[in-house]
Structures are given as C-alpha cells and as structure tokens.
Structure 1
Amino acid sequence: MSKENRVFIISASDRYNFGDLLFNYIVDFFLSEYCKNKYEIIFTSLSGNDLQSVQGHKTVGLTKGLKRIGDGDVLIFAGGGVLGHKWAPMFLQAEGGKKIKKIKKLMPDWLFEGFIKLFYFKTKARYPYTRSINDFNKSVRVIYNSVGGGALNGMSSVETKRVLTRLKTASYISVRDQNIQNIISGIKSNLVPDSAILLSEKITKDELYSMAESNIKNILDQNYIILHFNKKISNRYFDEIQELITGIKNNFNFNIFLMPVNYIDNTDMEGMISHEKNRNCTVIKNKLKVFEICALIANSKLMIGSSLHTNIIACSYGVPHLGATHSVSKVNNFFKTWYPSDSVFNSYDLKKILEIIPNALDNKSEVKKNSERLKLVAIDNFNKINQIMEREANPPEK
C-alpha cells in the first residue's frame, strides 16, 4: 500500500565519511511508528550513491528525489555540519565530483559554483542543505536535526543573512553545539547533542562485534586503544604524534591501533601510514565498514582522535575519549558544549595528552554518566520532531 506522504532524510551520505553515514540510521531508528506508517522514507544525498557495501545507505540525488515532492511532505536534514555549505565544495567530495576537479582550476570559485548548480544539478537554490519552504511550489515542512555549520564560521554578514532567511521558514531546528546556536541566535533553535550519540541505544557492543569481519574481531579481542589523526594533523604534528605513540607504549599495557575513518579520498589513510615506521603501533589498512569503525571504538579502552564522530561514538558507548589537538573547531565545540569546563575530557595539545591519559582512564564513570545525560536530550529532540510530523494540521502557508 502506498504511503500518504514522503519524508526525505537528507544528509551528505553519498561519500564515505564515517560520521555522515550514521545519520540515516539514527533518524530511521527514532522516527515514530506513526511516521513510518504515514511517510515513505526516501534517503537523499547531494548526488546519490550506493554505499551499502560499507554499511551505508543507497541514496537518491537531491535533484531527482525532490522532483517527487508533494503537499504534506517533510524534509529532514539529518545531521552533520551542513548549514551554509554551497554546492561545489560538497559535490567535489562526492563520487561524481571527483572527476571534474581539473575543471575547477580553470575558473574562479563563483563561476565554478554556478557551473555546478546549473549544469549538474539544474537548480537555482543557493545551498543544497539549507533550504527554505519557499524553494518549493508545494506545502512542505523543513526540519533540521542536530546540525552543525562549519561554513558559517567567518561567513560574511550578507551571506549569513541569506542562511538565516532560509532557516526562518523551518518548522524545527536543533543544532549540535553552542557555537552554531550563537551564530544563528536570531532564529529559534534547540541545543542538542549530535544525534550519533544515540547509536548505543539501538546497537549494543555485542551486536557491533558480530557485524565485524574476523580480522577485525582479532583486534576487538585485544587490550587496545585507538588513535585517529587526519592527514593535515599527521603532517603538522608528526614528531609530537611519534612521541605520543612511543610514550603510550612505554607507560601503558595497551596495543595501539591507528584507524582511518574518512574514505572520501585517501588522505586519512596516508596520514595514518606516515606513522607506520613507528613499530609501537599498527595501522589498520583494511577499508573498514561503518559499524566496524564503531566496534573498534566501542571496545577500546581509550579513543584519542581529531574526528568529531570518533569522540561522539566513544561517548555513546562510555569509552574515555580525548580530542587530539585544538585544531578542529567542531571537536573543541563538542567538548565545550557537552562536558563541564573542569572535566578531564577535552581537546588537548598532543604533548599534554600523555600525562592526561591516567586521569581519563580513571574517570570512565564520568563518560558513562555524561553519555546517559546527552542521550536523554537527544531522545527528547526526536520526540519533538515526531510531534511535528504527527500533527494533523496542514503545513504552514508560505
């Protein structure tokens, strides 16, 4: 039987960035049964892709998907730092966009942006993931779920106003950190943790273990910690990372694994492999599936990483975790927003981390307590989203 309406779950899930592939699962897990019965769920991304082989979703592209939009439909922007991003930067990270990087060098950014919008996506919409109800000739609802917006940092006042104008038409907005809420302070929004914090509510550590290949299970059975650094940080802080790895090996009884989490290109792996000559650690060279990454984090004794979602998944499963350097603002903002200012759990300079580790390991109970608190806030966020979608009233008039 066909559903009465459609809900487009929209995220940057057409490229293999670990965190972005979690959002479709989380939204699907926490939509109410009423919503699932009423709405046909359409997983949607910028250009569409099939990442089921790595435990992602098969998604339809925005242009194709939104051709089906009708009165009473809902757009849920499912999470991630999507606010304010334009078409070209996001498309260049998608599978189809990798083929045209050479073209970008031939024209200025503004012209390339217009070329991508009009030629590839045949749209006049200014942003792919920041949409107004006025972008559509149908009566629809727009919902933003625990979103971030790195593109908003340093944005001109004119451009920020354009973003805010679009956000004003949303039925509901939740943002994942205080920094974003401050930037859009003229708009009503709810401050909630990144919804990936809820993964452990639906998938247990044992279930994650069962999803892993045998070679990954061999790691899961060990006493280990996980380190992650993107290539930029690996290059910039190469000597400090080497010292940290050696210091951990000399002072703690852990095996040390370096784990890539971003497979958009090969930069994460290159960053990890650059430390391979340090025989105190092992680089995980397998192309990991989404829930294998989660399993490796959830079963570790400690997570040290420059990735936001390695820290969030660690928090979800009650694993002590530390941000690697102060270089990644969204990681810093997570700790500032969701941990007390005097907490041991924070971002640290790499030279400081070694002396912090004992305190972090001793305060595992704080992570578990904070995890439960954050999950309650995130569940309440989905309760509000479900209430909006379950309303029998007509969508707002334009």
Structure 2
Amino acid sequence: MRKNKIVLFGAYDRYNYGDNLMPIVFLDYMKKYHPDLVAQSEFVYSSIMASDLSRYQAPKTIPIDDVCPSLSNQDALIVVGGEVLCASNSTLFLHMPRNKTLNDLLTKLNRRPVFRDLLHLYARHRCPIPWDFPYVPDPDKLPAGLKIVYHTVGGHLNDLGPAKRQEITGRLNRSAILAVRDNRTKDHLAGIPTTLAPDSVHIISDLYDDTFFAEHAEKMYRTYRNERYFCFQASPQKMPEDIQSVAQVLRDICQKNGCKVMLLPIGYAAGHDDAFLLRELQSLIPEVAFFEDELTLWEIMFLIKNSLLYIGTSLHGAITALSYGIPHFGLNKKIVKLNDFLGDWSVAPFNQNYDMQTIGELAADLSALPSEALTARAKLNNQLVRQHFDSVATLLGQGGD
C-alpha cells in the first residue's frame, strides 16, 4: 500500500544553519509527538537542487522538479519556513555554494538591470522549477486536492507588480495553512488569512538536550561544556561597524566578565561568509577568542546553548539562544527580520537590535542580565509553536496527543 508523501520543501540545498534545521526539526517533532503520522507517511526532503550536506548532519535533498510528477491528491507539500516570500530564482541562485570571489562579482553585477534579467534566465535554466518564485507553490501545477502548508515563513510581496501580486495572492489563498513567523510578515500579507506563530526552529529546546548533544556534538560537548564564553557571529555584509571597533568591544566584555568569546560561523551559504570575517576578527583578539569552523548543525546549536550570551546578525542564532533561555542581542538595526522577530517574541532588553557599542554597555555585567522573564517567554513561545505543529499534524491526518 502506498504511503502518503509529505514533502518538506525549503531552501536547504546550501549550508545555512537555520534553513537546514527546519526540515529536521519538523520530522523530529512529529516523531516525538505524532509517531502514528510518521509511521503511515513517507517524508521527502526537497529543495530547488539536489544536495548532499550530510557531513554537516543535514539532509540530502531531491529537486522539487523531480518530486512533483510522483505526487497525488493524497499528499502534502510543506514549505518548511525561512524568508521565502517571495524569494526569486535568481536571489536563491546567488546563495548557492561557489567560490566567494565569483559570488561577490555576481552579486555586484546583479545590481545592474540588464545583467539581473540575464541572471534570472540562467537561474531558471540551471534550477528548473515548475513555477516562478520557487517557495510559493502554484496549485495549478500540482494535483488537485494536494495539501499545501506554509510552516512559519517570512517575507513579503512588496516588490511585485499588480498582476503578479494578484497571482501570488491567489496561490497563498489556496493553501491549507499559511503560518507566518512575525507580525511584519502578517502585516505584509494583509487580506490573506494567516496564522501567527514563532519560527518553528524555536521548538529545539523541547527536542534536544545535553544527552543528545553528548552524542551528536561530542567534540564540542567535551571541549567546551565547562568553559565560560559568549558567542559572537556576523557576516561581512551585515556587520555595521569597522572590525577594529568590534574587536575592542568583544575584548572589553571578556575582560569585564572573566570569560572568552566564541567566534561562531553560522552563515555558510554564499552571500553570508561568516568565517571570512571571524577569522580576521580572531587575529585581532587571539588572547580572548575561540574560533571553530566547519561545524555541524548540532555543534553550532550546542555552542550557543552552552554560552553565557549570543550576539549576532543571524536570526536563527538568536532563535536558538531564545529557545534555550540564553541572553541574546541582535546586531544591526537594518536587519529587519531579526529586529522584528525579537520585538514579537523576546523580552527587554533582548527584544530589539543594537549597535555594537550599546551591546558592549548592556553586556558589561553578564550576571545582571535578566533570566527568569526570558525563560518564561521561551516556554510560552514553545507552547505556541506546539499548537501550530499540532494543527499541521491534524491536517495531515493525526490529531494532537
């Protein structure tokens, strides 16, 4: 007897911590709370392109163009999250793994209209998708009756012309569940029925504990579980201040608190390039800085969970800290998705982004940062995420426990 397929469709054909976690967290949650659904279903990891990131403990992916012909009206397509509304083929193509120099050149040329059009055509050829705007599935290109679910997604429709906006709105209106992860996205989709819930990755503290990390992040667990450190992460394109100033703030925090700083790459996809910046930063403060590279998903997660504080430009770095009740400061007010997510789901003073100097002042005494309200908020957020997961399970054929 054929099992119903549940296709977990997302932007995880490149290595980027949050994107790669989303389908794993989805399936692990269902295994824990809805095992009957898992037993009666076939789960498929799919993205734009085929990929094998198993060395980072991330799932292999099958191109969605290869998956669609095998689907039936009994199946489901889950857009598993991320800033996917309305990411274009060319934008996603620019985040694929390649030489940094080449990608920097492509990104610069993409600002020119003529080249942008050519890049878009090439991306459509290189990454064939049955519809435009890859992570907004077109129901007309799928079997009638197939369930489409948007799983705590982010994004907007602002850049679309009137005709294309009407088309994309029609696609979204035909979804079975459209859950968004922040009020910013909800406001952008005004007039389209949505559900608001924190990003699904927030549920990690309900799924992964120290026993898990001792097995799945053994080296990091063994090396750093007794260290006193805080985490700093940033990508070159998103760090708003010069590297010398940042190095001095990090050194001051370490000296005032008697700890070290873990320079932690989270964004590995093209266009993020955290490791390039953090290696340079370590050379400026070697006496107080750890640096680890080529980390797996679970190693990144453990290092944040075990830290005194997280500072960074990564949304899912902050979400990991928030989930485990770790103090966190978003860096750079211009990163709207991070600033607005923290405003919706965290507590003061962690509920907004700051510049590096202000973070240095706030982190002068790490022991004085509030913890009880943060822990309580994390528990409440997890309850909301669970409600959303359970509603998806109900739709897919399994009620809540």
* TM-score, normalised with respect to structure 2: 0.89
Q: How does 1:198-209 map to 2 (within 5 A)?
A: 198-209=203-214
Distance 2:130 2:72 in 1: 19
Give the letter aligned to residue 125 of structure 1. Answer: W
Residues 345 and 3 of structure 1: CA distance in aligned 2, closer, same or farther (over 3 Å): same
Q: Does 1:299 align with 2:298?
A: no
Q: Does 1:347 align with 2:349?
A: no
Decide whether the 8 Å contact of 1:320 with 1:361 is kept in 2: no
Q: What are the superposed Cα offsets for residues 79-114 of structure 1, whole Å, 9 maximum, x if unpaired?
A: 111111111221232348999968895963234323
Residues 28 and 344 of structure 1: CA distance in aligned 2, closer, same or farther (over 3 Å): closer
Distance 2:226 2:185 in 1: 39
Q: What are the superposed Cα offsets for residues 313-370 of structure 1, whole Å, 9 maximum, x if unpaired?
A: 1111111111112121111011111135x54443112111122123784311122111
- Partner secondary structure for residue 43 of structure 1: strand
Structure-2 residue corresponding to 1:29 = 28
Q: 1:279 aligns with which of 286, 290, 296?
A: 286
Structure-1 residue corresponding to 2:87 = 85
Decide whether the 8 Å contact of 2:343 with 2:351 is kept in 1: no
Post-superposition shift, 1:279? Answer: 3.0
Q: Does 1:323 align with 2:330?
A: yes
Structure-1 residue corresponding to 2:4 = 5
Structure-2 residue corresponding to 1:395 = none
Q: How does 1:242-391 map to 2 (within 5 A)?
A: 242-265=247-270, 267-276=273-282, 277-340=284-347, 342-357=348-363, 358=365, 361-390=368-397
Give the letter aligned to residue 213 of structure 2. Answer: L
- Structure 2 unmatched runs, 5+: none
Q: What are the superposed Cα offsets for residues 291-322 of structure 1, whole Å, 9 maximum, x if unpaired?
A: 00000000011111110011101111111111
Q: Does 1:126 align with 2:116?
A: no
Decide whether the 8 Å contact of 1:223 with 1:255 is kept in 2: yes
Distance 1:269 1:133 in 2: 40
Instruction: Let me know the Cα RMSD of the aligned residues.
Output: 2.6
Q: 1:64 aligns with which of 63, 66, 75?
A: 66
Post-superposition shift, 1:384? Answer: 0.8
Post-superposition shift, 1:72? Answer: 1.3
- Partner secondary structure for residue 49 of structure 1: coil
Structure-1 residue corresponding to 2:189 = 184
Q: 1:48 aligns with which of 47, 50, 66?
A: 50
Distance 1:280 1:157 in 2: 56
Decide whether the 8 Å contact of 2:75 with 2:147 is kept in 1: yes
Distance 1:209 1:172 in 2: 36
Distance 2:97 2:260 in 1: 35
Give the letter aligned to residue 17 of structure 1. Answer: N
Distance 1:206 1:309 in 2: 22
- Partner secondary structure for residue 85 of structure 2: coil
Residues 216 and 35 of structure 1: CA distance in aligned 2, closer, same or farther (over 3 Å): closer
Residues 64 and 309 of structure 1: CA distance in aligned 2, closer, same or farther (over 3 Å): same
Give the letter aligned to residue 388 of structure 1. Answer: L
Moved more, 206-215 or 175-184: 206-215
Moved more, 121-130 or 81-90: 121-130
Q: 1:114 aligns with which of 109, 121, 133?
A: 121
Moved more, 48-57 or 203-212: 203-212
Moved more, 292-301 or 203-212: 203-212
Post-superposition shift, 1:48? Answer: 1.8
Q: What are the superposed Cα offsets for residues 46-65 of structure 1, whole Å, 9 maximum, x if unpaired?
A: 10211111110011111111
Post-superposition shift, 1:283? Answer: 4.5
Matched residue count? 388
Give the letter aligned to residue 334 of structure 1. Answer: F
Post-superposition shift, 1:123? Answer: 4.2
Distance 1:112 1:286 in 2: 31
Residues 259 and 153 of structure 1: CA distance in aligned 2, closer, same or farther (over 3 Å): farther
Give the letter aligned to residue 71 of structure 1. Answer: N
Residues 365 and 3 of structure 1: CA distance in aligned 2, closer, same or farther (over 3 Å): farther
Residues 195 and 160 of structure 1: CA distance in aligned 2, closer, same or farther (over 3 Å): same
Residues 122 and 307 of structure 1: CA distance in aligned 2, closer, same or farther (over 3 Å): closer
- Structure 1 unmatched runs, 5+: 393-398
Structure-1 residue corresponding to 2:215 = 210
